[in-house]
Amino acid sequence: MKSLILTIIMSLFFFAPVLFGQNNSMPAGVHQHDGFFLRIVPGGGSSQFFATAPDDKILLPQNRGKDVLSFSGGFTVANTIQIGGAVADNLIIYGESGGVFMAGPTVKNYDQEVNNPGTVWVYFGGVGPGMAYYFMPANVYVSGAILANIAVMTVQGSSEGSKIGFGFHLIAGKEWWTGEQWGLGVAAFFRYGTQKNDDIDFLTMSGSSFGLLFSATLN
C-alpha cells in the first residue's frame, strides 16, 4: 500500500508541470491579435446586380417600375485583401481592397430574359477603411468596411462602367491557429454597392453578394 501511494505521489511530481502547464498563457505576441495585420479572404457565393432608372426617364409605361437590366445566377468569385494593425487587444483597424466577379449570369431587360447575350460578366467592389474584432479565446471575429465602390457590366459585347459610389462589406468567421502568428478559417460575407453609371447619370448600378470565404490571417 505504501509503495502504491509513493508511486502516485512520484507520478504527480513528474507530470504536474505537464498537467498544470496547459493553462499557462502563451508567450507575448503568440496566438494573440496584436501588431501587424494581414488577411486574405477568397471565396464564392451568389450575387444580384441591377441597372435601374427613374420612371420619368422610361418611355414605355409598361416598363416603368422594372429594372432596365438585371443580372442573377451564374458563378460568383469573391476576393479581398485587408492590411492594417491592432489598436488594442483583439481590435484591428485596416484598409481593404476587393470585390466580386459574376460570370455567366442570366440577363433580363425589363423582366424579359435576353436570349444569346454573348459573354456576360459583372464586377463590383471597392476600397476603404474597416474594423475587425476577435472574440477570444474562441478566435471568432466580425469585421466591416465602408467602401468607395465601382462597378462594370458587360453584355452583348458592350461594357458600361460606373462613377465612384458607396458600398460596404461585412464578414463573420472562425479561425484556427496554424502557427505562432498565422490562422486559417472559414467565414460568411455580405457585400453591397450602389453607384451611378459613368455615361448616363440617371442610371443607377447596384448589386449585392453573399457567400462563404476561406481566410488566411497573419496577426
Partners of 80 in the β-ladder: 41, 98
Assigned C-alpha cell, 80: 479581398
**Residue 209: left if φ>0, alpha if ψ -120 to 50, beta else—which one?**
beta
Domains of the chain: 2-218 (2.40.160.20)
Q: Which residues contact 135 (CB under 8 A, 6 or more apart)?
A: 90, 141
Q: What is the pLDDT of residues 165-212, one digit of tens each?
A: 999 999 999 999 998 889 999 999 999 999 999 999 899 999 999 999
Looking at the chain, the whole-number percentage of residues with pLDDT higher than 90 is 74
Query: What average pLDDT does this structure show over 19-34?
Result: 58
- Amino acid at the residue 18: V
β-strands 121-135, 140-155 pairing:
antiparallel
pTM, entire model: 0.83
Task: Report the DSSP beta bridge partners of residue 69.
Answer: 51
Which residue type does 57 have? K
Q: Count of residues for the chain?
A: 219
Sign of CA dihedral 175, 47, 73, 150: negative
Tell me the pLDDT tens digit for each residue of 91-149.
999 999 999 999 999 999 999 999 888 889 999 999 999 999 999 999 999 999 999 99
Q: What is the pLDDT of residues 152-163, one digit of tens each?
A: 999 888 889 999
Q: Is residue 23 predicted with pLDDT exceeding 80?
A: no
